[in-house]
Amino acid sequence: MKNQPTRRQFLGATAALVAGTVAGSHKLFGAPALIRSLGDKPNSLIDGVQIGVITYSFRDMPDQSAEATLNYVLDSGISAIELMGGPAESFAGAPKNTVNMQAVFPLMRKRREKQELTEDEKKQLADADAQMKAYREEVAKWRLSVPMDKFEQVRKMYNQAGVKIYGFKPDTFGVQNSDAEIEYGLKAAKLLGANQVTVEHPGNDAHTLKLGTMAHKQGLRVGYHGHEQQTPTFWDTALAQSPGNAINFDLGHYVAAGNPDPLVFLKQKHDRIASMHIKDRQTADHGKGNLPWGQGDTPLLQVLKLMRDQKYNFPATVELEYKVPEGSNAVAEVKKCVNFCRNALS
């Protein structure tokens, strides 16, 4: 088997082949043979339930390129994803972000969850916020002239490997972003093959109206993500504003916030859910912890079986947020989460 290419070689070759697609043919010479030589493609459509992953789950991995991210997805056994903006935009030539996001993400989470921050942590966040502001301004200028065909190349590379991109989450849909950036983010999502973009709920009715209207014109939906501020009526205004507005539900955060039975919510709102993040959190009485799956209070088994039995077609997106055990890594833990889903639906 010495002549069989490694996955790393395949990804590099596929990226080159995609970039060098012959004009007018839209065929990738050699890529299908390379893919077949690697064996079966991943399949995380389990008994009718599409299990996906948000690539934020791989934030602690050393290489955040589009090629490396695809490798993580394949190693996890996943065939459909919600793609963060970083890998796709870096592939398209975006300026490099100098902020160490691996160090900042945990602090951002502490601030969002209103946990107490040390003076040093407050300073780190303030410095990171200032750097991110400058970086966003630099990237905003770059987005006005980016070659959009790069996003189609990412789609082809992922699709050739057996991975569909159903969601895209770039940093382009906030209240601070211009209409041109929003339009750019939507166009990039379509070129990636996504049917939705996702964004943190802005808590701004005028902005959700704008986003929903713009997305609907592009044939896309905006899935608004929530944390512990989620309630059964959290999305009602946005949903009433436009068919382009939808729910990016977070099952674990919903449970940790002390809401009523999430299965009731899913039954009532399933037709407006674009995608759902799944994790295993504890209730407030038990400390709201983010735990390895099966150890928390989130009704993962019941929800997955409800999706299967009712034939809900929105993806269940693995979001790895519990602490990765020593000696393991994010890819190994995401793979465990996928196996949990597989066992739940068997």
CA dihedral 170, 87, 50, 106 (to 10 degrees): -70
First-residue to last-residue Cα distance in the chain: 34
Residue 197 three-state SS: strand
Specify the pLDDT at position 13.
56
pLDDT one-digit tens code per residue, 199-242? 999 999 999 999 999 999 999 999 999 999 999 999 999 999 99
The CA distance from 248 to 316, in Å, is 10
SS3 190: helix
Count CA within 13 A, CB hemisphere, residue 326. 0
User: To the nearest 10°, the Cα dihedral for 89, 93, 94, 96?
Assistant: 110
Q: How many CB atoms lie within 10 A of CB 97?
A: 18
Domains of the chain: which residue ranges?
A: 1-39, 42-94+151-344, 96-145
Question: pLDDT tens across 29-68, in order?
Answer: 334 334 434 557 999 999 999 999 999 999 999 999 999 9
Residue showing tokens 């997305």: 215
**pLDDT tens readout for residues 336-346:** 999 999 999 99
327 Cβ neighbours under 8 A, 6+ residues apart: none
pTM for the structure as a whole: 0.86
Do residues 136 and 178 lie in contact, with contact meaning Cβ atoms separated by under 8 Å? no
Q: What is the mean pLDDT of residues 169-175?
A: 98
Q: Which fold has domain 42-94+151-344?
A: TIM Barrel (3.20.20)
